[in-house]
Amino acid sequence: MFTKLMAATALISASMISVASAETISMWVRSGIGDSFKEVVKAYNAAHENKVELTEVPFAELVQKYATAIAGGQAPDALSLDLIYTPAFAAAGQLEDLTDWAKALPYFNSLSPSHVKLGTYEDKIYGLPLTVETSIFAWNKDLYKKAGLDPEKAPATWEEITANAEKIRGLGGDTYGFYFSGGGCGGCMIFTFTPLTWGAGADILSADGKTATLDTPQMRKAVDIYRNMIAKDLVPAGAASDNGVNFLSFTNGKIGQQSLGAFAIGTLVTQHPEIDFGVTLIPGVDGKPSSFAGGDNFVVTKGTPKLADVKEFLEYTYSPEGQKIMAKYGSLPTRGDIANEVLEGLDPRLKVGLDAIAVAKTPYTLQFNDLINSANGPWATFTNAAIYGDDVDGAFADAQAEMQSIIDAGQ
């Protein structure tokens, strides 16, 4: 009897220790993050004693709310943070240094390079890739056929894109050869327009983010390409006032070509099966491809007592199982070494989005919102004025000066 009692007591004690050792990790994600990360959390929670508790925060409020929570000591253990904001929080000393642990991961060198770059501040790593997004170029194969073009031939230069756009516009009516959101949508234009210059080796900022380098021959050529298409009536007039609301105009079946995000591949496949489309990398002004690397970094709040538990969860997300779940629900793999395995059986066009990671860039700056994303900022104002306005030289001069002023004020 005594032996049975001792055994039962030991079992209860072990159970209590197990329950006591289980942790709940609090994590914030932005609204609209999609199902991929939610599904990987669901799978992790089902298979582990530790749990991840997600809180969705409206996208426009996330950065300010996180900063306020940090100041008040109420921040979550971890956060899914738009990678462009990682340097600013790292510079403010608000994120955990993950350098040693990150570099010890056997697949560290295969993680999305742009995410790791944006997650690095003063040679220390504060953010690692969570969700990956890239910009790609899409064309409507049905409209190509109707215009007498080869629907299976991806355009490789902007000369080809423009020529194809002219033939598609020749179909008449409300069918147009190209589309972009040009109404002061800085986020849209950094995502789809800057790859034209990046592929040609130019950039709008220096590598350290301290100098505005907007006025280059490559950027002037990129502006001329868009101005030329507008002058030839190859772009719908509504593009001039589109602040991003109609960014996915390609889905209406009336647009022959458009630079989009790789996320649109899943949208087209699942919601617009009537559109037969092809995708390729965005050509630079000289034909060399590039892309914008977007998405979120996984960051950890400085001082969290659950750092080890957070690391365990992130390692699960990076596991083949976690990566397959993410890809199944629309996120590109963050690990290049198992990317082909992860995408096996999914739409083959997703591979183009994956290929874009190798040539993709993201501007590195602590002032991304003021410089790029703000609807009233210099980048959004510049793209609208330079592409649609009458004074191109003035647009370049004004934007260059304002960008440098904002950079200098923040140093």
HEC string of 283-316 equals ECCCCCEEEEEEEEEEEEECCCCCHHHHHHHHHH
Query: Residue 274 has which token pair?
Result: 């009537």
Residue 78: which H helix or E strand, with range? strand 78-82
Element (H, E) at 138: strand 127-140
CATH number of 23-133+293-361, picked from 3.30.300.30, 3.40.50.10890, 3.90.650.10, 3.40.190.10: 3.40.190.10
Closest alpha carbon to 91 in 212, 187, 208, 214: 208
pLDDT given at position 10: 46
What pLDDT was estimated at residue 32? 65
DSSP string covering 313-380:
HHHHHHSHHHHHHHHHTTPBPSBGGGHHHHHTTS-TTHHHHHHHHTTEE----TTHIIIII-TTSHHH
Amino acid at 260: L
Q: What is the pLDDT of residue 61?
A: 86
Question: What is the distance between the alpha carbons of residues 166 and 233, in angstroms, rounded to a whole number?
Answer: 9
Domain ranges of the chain: 23-133+293-361, 134-292+365-409
CATH 3.40.50.300 holds for 134-292+365-409 = no
- Can you read off the two tokens belonging to residue 99? 């350098």
Nearest to 110 by CA among 326, 336, 322: 336
What is the pTM for the complete model shown? 0.81
Q: Is 97 exposed, middle or buried (0-12, 13-18, 19+ CB in 10 A)?
A: middle
CA pair distance 28, 81, nearest whole angstrom? 9
3-class secondary structure, 24 = strand
User: So what's the pLDDT on residue 223?
Assistant: 98
Ranges in the chain, pLDDT < 50? 1-20
Task: Evaluate whether 282 touches 290 at the Cβ level (below 8 Å).
Answer: yes
Query: What gap in Å lies between CA 175 and CA 2, rounded to an integer?
Result: 86
- Give the span between the Cα atoms of 95 and 134, in whole angstroms: 25
The gap between the terminal CA atoms of the chain, to the nearest Å, is 75
